[in-house]
Amino acid sequence: MQMPSALDDAARLRHVRFIETLADELHRSVQEVVPLYEEVLESLSDAKVADYVPIFVCRRVRHILSGVRGSS
């Protein structure tokens, strides 16, 4: 995983847990979730309140992957 280098270990672990939870909830592999999660995380890298970023990333990834899955 290519998490931003500015993250401390606790933040990295939090993101890893979110990724694993998303993969489990959406019945997807972690390898399928990671690239999209990282892309969305990067798009929110300039957020002023970083505490909520993982929540917003998860919501967006969940929405995108749910839509992709529902259209097949």
Cα distance between residue 58 and residue 72, in whole Å:
21
Domain that holds residue 35: 10-70
39 inside domain: yes
3 inside domain: no
2 inside domain: no
Contact 58, 22 (CB under 8 A): yes
Mean pLDDT taken over the chain: 86
5 inside domain: no
Q: Which two three-digit tokens encode residue 63?
A: 């929405």
Comparing 18 with 5, the larger pLDDT belongs to: 18
Is residue 72 predicted with pLDDT exceeding 50?
Answer: no
What is the CA 69 to chain-centroid distance, rounded? 17
Contact 56, 36 (CB under 8 A): no
38 inside domain: yes
Q: What is the largest CA-CA distance in the chain?
A: 38
Express each pLDDT in 20-29 by its tens digit. 999 999 999 9
46 inside domain: yes
Structural domain count of the chain? 1
Q: Which two three-digit tokens encode residue 62?
A: 């969940």
